[in-house]
């Protein structure tokens, strides 16, 4: 006799293992909820990282056919397209921890300058939350993962009592900080999720500066070591590897009841059933999944009665400006590695300097690449060759400074992710297409960002390398996609409520950057972590009450 067993129905299915999915799994399991997590890849082996491979050793290894671990997803494996001429650089990581393996670690709190911005200027919908709603979660996240930073506190960048000690500033950073001060602009300690002293059992940073290759001692927050491993130890978390999610399935009762996924390598189709689903596969991939989850009830994607899913894609506009501080030219180079990346940050200030502007929102600045670097790409912008050229390169080497402003882009309906009529991927699922452009608001802001950067450089008396005013880094290269499944109070104009819960499908939560109502000028990961913690606190409470 053939007996068909009823499929297992999981308490909560979490999709994605990065900051969003990792936080959801960790927070739910520690509250006693059983979680099954679908990860599109597998664990990256920390011992394989090329963290301590010198540049010339790297070259030798590559010439001998070796390669560092492939952390970034190869776009040939999962293609995407964009609307010409606006190339959108999409960087994804499929595998345990997602982009937190190699992220920039900048950990900035949003403020009410950000959360209340749309309500103040009237551009698109307001956020359904304010700083007071999320502040306790910023506190908790910072205490849990370890964020180093200073004791500054301002309206655009709220302070924290929980920062670990900030790293000392490099010589060039002190010159830039001082120059900005003379321009009336405050530059503070950068805040990064780097453990600058032992914290919660995590190794401290040893200041090798190679964070972008993955940290071999896990001294910065990554979802694998900081969230998923502890969650697995609780016995409440089950992870399914190489599960490339295609669709979220809808039951007859209007609730999500499962997930269709494909094994990444065998391409075998599988379905897993669950009572609640938390989607945290990154803004772009989560949007692809939602839009592909079509049904009679939701012909344009699950939970999309508002029609906003896929629209209002926001990323930030950025550029680099480089120069050399005269006082540092010809000095003895120091080991400038530090915690990798700059140790200073310029919070947004344009809302309070008394100037009237003809654009909305604002910008801040980072300062990538100050001091002695593992290379001298700037030499390509110096004229000449021969011994004098060689001397000129050497003389400037310790003196390099950089400005790297980030500006907010407004959410616009026409900036969107679609799956309609796109080529199918290797599993037969429509791939994503990105349409993205900036408007007059951004162009006006960019002009001022250039003025600001040049002003600070000139105040530092820097020899500025040639730059093309108005030039930008590739769209997408900040890797800060937001807004395509936004939260809001009005179900007709938003897909999620203030707890990242779908208006339409109450047992489906979306906890990554797609949930953001606006992008701000800040790096989003700390806010993703805080929102995911808050959202899954709410979900756990609903489960306890039996409401979901």
Partner 1 sequence: MPTRRTLLHVSAALAAAPLSPAQDHARHGLTQIENAAPKVARFFNRREMALLAQLVEQIIPRSDTPGAADANVHYFVDFQAHTNRRLGAQLKKDLAWIRKQGFDRADGARQVALLSAWSTAKGADSYRVFKQIKDLTIDGYYGSKEGLAQELGWNANTFLREFKGCTHPEHGA
Q: Which of 374, 428, 439, 470 binds partner 1 (CB under 8 A)?
A: 374
Q: Is 47 near partner 1 (CB under 8 A)?
A: yes
CB of 66 to partner 1, least distance (A): 8
87: Cβ contacts below 8 Å, ≥ 6 apart: 474, 475
User: Using the rule CB under 8 A, is 389 a contact of partner 1?
Assistant: yes
- Under rule CB under 8 A, residue 461 binds partner 1: no
Output DSSP code: residue 261: E
Measure CA 158 to chain center.
19
Q: Which of 91, 135, 210, 329 lies at the binding interface for partner 1 (CB under 8 A)?
A: 210
Residues that contact partner 1, how many (by CB under 8 A)? 61
Show the binding pattern over residues 143-182: x = contacts partner 1 (CB under 8 A), - = does not.
------------------------xxxxx-xxxxxx----
Based on the shown chain and the rule CB under 8 A, indicate whether residue 198 belongs to the binding site for partner 1. no
Angle, nearest 10°, between helix axes 525-545 and 131-145? 100
Which CB, 123 or 207, lies closer to partner 1?
A: 207
Min CB(64)–partner 1 separation in Å: 7
Q: Quote the least distance from Cβ 459 to partner 1, whole Å.
A: 12
Should residue 468 be labelled a site residue for partner 1 when binding is judged by CB under 8 A? no
Cα–Cα dist 89/129, whole Å:
30
Indicate whether 492 belongs to the interface with partner 1 (CB under 8 A).
no
Question: Is residue 470 a contact residue for partner 1 (CB under 8 A)?
Answer: no
For partner 1, which is the closer residue by CB, 332 or 545?
332
Classified as helix, coil or strand, 215 is: coil
* Nearer Cβ to partner 1 (186/426): 186
The secondary structure of residue 46, as a DSSP letter, is G
- DSSP bridge partners of 346: 365
Q: Judged by CB under 8 A, does residue 458 bind partner 1?
A: no
Sole residue written with tokens 């399935």: 249
Q: How far is CA 340 from the centre of its chain?
A: 17
Q: Judged by CB, which is closer to partner 1: 52, or 492?
A: 52
Q: Least distance in Å: CB of 454 to partner 1?
A: 19
Residue 134: CB minimum distance to partner 1, A: 31
409 binds partner 1 (CB under 8 A): no
Taking the C-alpha atoms of residue 275 and residue 279, their distance in angstroms, rounded to an integer, is 13
Q: Which of 1, 3, 296, 387 binds partner 1 (CB under 8 A)?
A: 387
- Least Å from the CB of residue 342 to partner 1: 12
Question: Among the candidate windows 26-34, 49-57, 70-78, 81-89, which touches partner 1 by CB under 8 A?
Answer: 49-57
DSSP strand pairing (243-250 vs 256-263): antiparallel
12: three-class secondary structure by DSSP: strand
Residue pair 504/298 in contact by the 8 Å Cβ criterion: yes
265 binds partner 1 (CB under 8 A): no
DSSP 226: I
59 binds partner 1 (CB under 8 A): yes
As given in the structure block, the two tokens for residue 286 are 């989560």
102 makes contact with partner 1 (CB under 8 A): no
83 binds partner 1 (CB under 8 A): no
Q: Comparing C-alpha atoms, which of 451, 503, 427 is closest to residue 264? A: 427
**40 binds partner 1, rule: CB under 8 A:** no
Number of CB atoms found within 10 A of residue 113's CB:
22
185 binds partner 1 (CB under 8 A): no
Q: Give Cβ neighbours of residue 267 (< 8 Å, ≥ 6 apart).
A: 426, 427
Q: What is the DSSP string of 335-385?
A: ---TTSS-SEEB---TTSSS---SS-S-EEEE--S-S--SS-GGGGGS---
Among 379, 392, 459, 464, binds partner 1 (CB under 8 A): 379
C-alpha distance from residue 116 to each of 110, 119, 140, 380, 424 (Å)? 10, 5, 22, 44, 40
Number of H helices, E strands in the chain: 12, 17
Q: Distance between terminal CA atoms of the chain?
A: 37
Question: Is residue 384 involved in binding partner 1 (CB under 8 A)?
Answer: yes
**Shortest distance, position 458 Cβ to partner 1, whole Å:** 16
* Binds partner 1 (CB under 8 A): choice among 142, 336, 512, 521: 336
Which CB sits closer to partner 1, 307 or 374? Answer: 374
Residue number, 62 or 447, with CB nearest to partner 1: 62
Alpha-carbon distance of 339 to 219, in angstroms, equals 10
- Taking the C-alpha atoms of residue 342 and residue 540, their distance in angstroms, rounded to an integer, is 38
Q: Which of residues 309-328 bind partner 1 (CB under 8 A)?
A: 327-328
Choose, by CB under 8 A, the member of 114, 285, 337, 408 that binds partner 1: 337
**What residues make contact with partner 1 under the rule CB under 8 A?**
47, 50-57, 59-61, 63-64, 167-171, 173-178, 206-210, 216-217, 327-328, 332-339, 343, 372-377, 379-380, 383-387, 389-390, 393-394, 397
């Amino acid at each position: 006799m053939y007996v068909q067993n009823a499929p297992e129905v999981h308490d909560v299915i979490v999709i994605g293992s990065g900051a969003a999915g990792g936080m959801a799994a960790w927070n739910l399991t520690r509250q006693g909820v059983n979680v099954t997590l679908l990860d599109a890849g597998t664990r990256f082996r920390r011992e394989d990282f090329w963290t301590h491979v010198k540049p010339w050793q790297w070259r030798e290894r590559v010439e001998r056919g070796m390669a560092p671990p492939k952390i970034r997803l190869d776009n040939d494996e999962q293609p995407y397209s964009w609307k010409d001429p606006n190339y959108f650089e999409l960087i994804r990581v499929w595998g345990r921890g997602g982009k937190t393996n190699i992220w920039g670690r900048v950990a900035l709190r949003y403020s009410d300058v950000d959360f209340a911005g749309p309500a103040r200027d009237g551009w698109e919908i307001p956020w359904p939350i304010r700083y007071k709603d999320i502040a306790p979660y910023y506190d908790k996240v910072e205490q849990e993962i370890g964020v180093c930073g200073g004791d500054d506190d301002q309206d655009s960048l709220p302070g924290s009592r929980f920062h670990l000690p900030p790293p000392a500033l490099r010589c060039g950073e002190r010159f830039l900080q001082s120059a900005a001060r003379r321009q009336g602009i405050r530059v503070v300690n950068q805040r990064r999720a780097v453990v600058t002293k032992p914290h919660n059992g995590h190794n401290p940073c040893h200041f090798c500066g190679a964070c972008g290759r993955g940290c071999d001692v896990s001294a910065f927050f990554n979802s694998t070591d900081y969230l998923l491993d502890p969650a697995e130890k609780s016995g409440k978390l089950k992870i399914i590897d190489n599960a490339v999610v295609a669709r979220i399935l809808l039951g007859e009762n209007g609730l999500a009841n499962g997930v269709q996924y494909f094994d990444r390598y065998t391409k075998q189709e599988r379905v897993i059933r669950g009572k609640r689903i938390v989607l945290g596969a990154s803004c772009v991939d989560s949007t692809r999944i939602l839009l592909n989850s079509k049904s009679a009830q939701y012909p344009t994607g699950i939970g999309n009665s508002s029609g906003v899913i896929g629209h209002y894609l926001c990323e930030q506009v950025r550029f680099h400006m480089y120069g050399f501080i005269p006082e540092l030219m010809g000095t003895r180079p120091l080991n400038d590695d530090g915690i990798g990346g700059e140790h200073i940050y310029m919070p947004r200030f344009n809302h309070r300097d008394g100037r009237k502007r003809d654009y909305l929102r604002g910008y801040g600045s980072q300062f990538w690449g100050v001091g002695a670097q593992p290379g001298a790409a700037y030499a390509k912008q110096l004229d000449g060759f021969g011994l004098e050229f060689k001397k000129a390169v050497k003389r400037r080497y310790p003196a390099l400074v950089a400005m790297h402003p980030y500006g907010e882009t407004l959410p616009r309906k026409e900036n969107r992710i679609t799956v309609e009529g796109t080529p199918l991927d290797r599993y037969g699922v429509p791939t994503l297409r990105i349409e993205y452009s900036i408007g007059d608001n951004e162009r006006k802001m960019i002009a001022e960002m250039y003025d600001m950067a040049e002003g600070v450089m000139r105040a530092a008396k820097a020899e500025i390398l040639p730059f093309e005013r108005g030039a930008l880094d590739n769209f997408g290269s900040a890797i800060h996609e937001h807004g395509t499944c936004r939260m809001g109070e009005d179900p007709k104009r938003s897909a999620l409520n203030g707890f990242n819960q779908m208006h339409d499908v109450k047992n489906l939560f979306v906890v990554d950057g797609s949930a953001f109502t606006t992008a701000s000028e800040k790096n989003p990961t700390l806010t993703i972590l805080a929102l995911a913690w808050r959202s899954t606190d709410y979900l756990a409470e609903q489960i306890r009450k039996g409401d979901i």
